[in-house]
Amino acid sequence: MQDALLDVARFWLDRGVDGFRLDTINFYVHDKLLRSNPALPEDQRDTSIAPSVNPYNHQRHLYSKNQPENLDFLRRFRAVLDEFPAATAVGEIGDAQIGLEIMGEYTAGNDKIHMCYSFEFLSREAPTAARFADVLARIDAAAPDGWACLAFSNHDVIRHATRWGLTPAAQRALTTLMMCLRGTLCLYQGEELGLHEADVPFDALQDPYGIEFWPEFKGRDGCRTPIAWESSHQNGGFTQGQPWLPISHEHLMHSVAAQEADPGSLLHHYRRAISFRHAHKALAKGSHSDVRAEGDVLHFTRTHKGETLFVAINLSGEPAVIDAPAGNWLQVGQELGSTGPAPDGKLHLGPWQPALALRVPG
């Protein structure tokens, strides 16, 4: 079986694909004796991976995943990838209890997977400064030699605009923050338009998961509806036929065409934020240090080959004040709403406002 899978991977690599996204990468090998998992106490259950109504969430997965033999297969898979320059892979870690530890184990060194993502920033937990500081510190501790892949939304979870109850200003701030984080970043289709979760009626559901557990869990179709390219057609320019899932009427107001025409739209903010990341190697490749939450403000520095950037972002709807970093700094990122030090030497941040600065030598 492993040989056949590796042959499939080599087939696609020969055809020129850049790499692979591997689903639930820690599930590939099961216990040789096929032993049953023990029950997981209710107070230890975490619904970030599966809803509470799913029996999957009621087990301690000692035998159904995270088996040591999985690492041997990943090494074989990586050896195939290494035959093709620049080919890469990202693995999904499906584990609500030890996801970060598995990420560290699977991405350490140069003989397994290039990068992995877990569900810490895909959960319902509010995106506070303290939350970000805690998760980033745990990634550093669990995967000091690894590389994280970070996302706020994907095909398995409620869109983060809805999940976190974000205002437009909050969406912009979190986009700016994401582009400043250490790791490889994944954007989910439609988040650049600020789309909220679509309300898909039961009779239109396609996700077997939602059909089985309705109404306690409505499935994942609400984040999977087609993008509205323009608003003059009931299917948003996506198709002249019948789409797999219905287009949300609310999404029509946030169509690509409407946002392309508005220089102040979230779509253009995403483009500016991505350009800012590309312009600074410290953001794309650098280390991070001094990651701290000071009240509602998250701040840290990113460094790579002589370039150091200071990043501070107010993750709340209230003004905040922190001390400016010591030394000589040049304010950057004004196109993202960045502010600089006031005459009192402090950073006075408006609601959801960033302060971005480049260290100046001397």
Residue of 311, 359, 306, 318 lying closest to 338 (CA atoms): 311
pLDDT at 46: 83
pLDDT tens digits, 282-321: 999 999 999 999 999 999 999 999 999 999 999 999 999 9
Tens-digit pLDDT profile for residues 311-324:
999 999 999 999 99
Residue 327 has pLDDT above 80, yes or no: yes
Percentage with pLDDT > 90 across the chain:
92
- Active-site residue, selected from the candidate residues 7, 14, 18, 23: 23
- Looking up tokens 């969430």 gives 57
- Per residue in 117-168, pLDDT tens? 989 999 999 999 999 999 999 999 999 988 999 999 999 999 999 999 999 9
Residue 215 preceded by cis peptide, ω within 30: yes
Give the model's pLDDT for residue 196. Answer: 98
Query: Which pTM was predicted?
Result: 0.95
pLDDT, one tens digit per residue, over 249-271 is: 999 999 999 999 999 999 999 99
Q: Does the pLDDT of residue 22 top 90, yes or no?
A: yes
46-79 pLDDT, tens digit each: 887 788 888 998 999 999 999 999 999 999 999 9
DSSP 55: G
List Cβ<8 Å contacts ≥24 apart for 274-277: 274/179, 276/176, 276/179, 276/332, 276/333, 276/335, 276/336, 276/356, 277/179, 277/180, 277/185
Q: Is 83 a catalytic residue?
A: yes
Catalytic residue of the set 7, 83, 250, 344: 83
> So what's the pLDDT on residue 9?
97
Domains of the chain with CATH codes: 2-273 (3.20.20.80), 288-359 (2.60.40.1180)
Closest CA to 231 of 272, 206, 260: 260
Q: pLDDT band for 112, please (50, 70, 90 cuts).
A: very high
For residues 179 and 168, what is the distance between their CA atoms, to the nearest angstrom?
17
The predicted pLDDT at position 170 comes to 98
Under the banding of pLDDT at 50, 70 and 90, the label for residue 97 is confident
Q: What is the pLDDT of residue 76?
A: 98
Q: How much is the pLDDT for 40?
A: 92
**Mean pLDDT (the chain, rounded):** 95
Distance between CA atoms of 315 and 173, rounded to whole angstroms? Answer: 7
Report H helices in the chain. 2-14, 69-81, 99-107, 129-142, 160-163, 168-178, 208-213, 249-252, 256-260, 266-279, 281-285
Cα 211–Cα 199–Cα 259 angle in degrees, nearest 5: 135
pLDDT confidence of residue 235: 93
Q: What is the pLDDT of residues 175-226, one digit of tens each?
A: 999 999 999 999 999 999 999 999 999 999 999 999 999 999 999 999 999 9
| pLDDT reading at 362 higher than 80 | no
- H/E/C letters for each residue in 263-277? CCCHHHHHHHHHHHH
pLDDT of 50 reads 81
